[in-house]
Amino acid sequence: MRHNKLKKINKKSKHRELMFNNMIYSIIKYRKISTSIYKYRILKKIFDKKIKKIKKDKKFFFEFINNIKLNNKIIIYFLNKIKKKNSGFLKVNKVRDRKGDFTKIIYLEL
């Protein structure tokens, strides 16, 4: 039985955790990032879980983003954006192929 395990994508567990947290910070701060389709599939699950936790407890949000400097406009925009939805917080915009290995690259928007 698999018990809802995430893919490893050839990274150690601590590196994976930090990488996805940094991607979440970037989505909140810049509202748009580019990533491979494999990382997106994992990021979507992690992001939805964290957003549901933020919706239940706003204190968790400020603990989560305590080490990056965000202005109030970004925080208010983000909290208003997640208030309206229950899931599906990320939008996939464009798909292109990376030059070296032809991996699908997508642009995510909040």
Encode pLDDT of 58-97 as tens digits: 788 777 776 566 777 787 888 888 888 888 888 999 889 9
Radius of gyration of the chain (CA): 15
β-partners of residue 33 are: 108
**Distant-in-sequence, close-in-space partners of 29: CB < 8 Å, separation ≥ 6:** 68, 70, 74
CA proximity to 44, closest of 88, 81, 82: 88
Mean predicted confidence (pLDDT) in 26-46: 90
Residue 109: count of CB within 10 angstroms of its CB: 13
Global confidence as pTM: 0.80
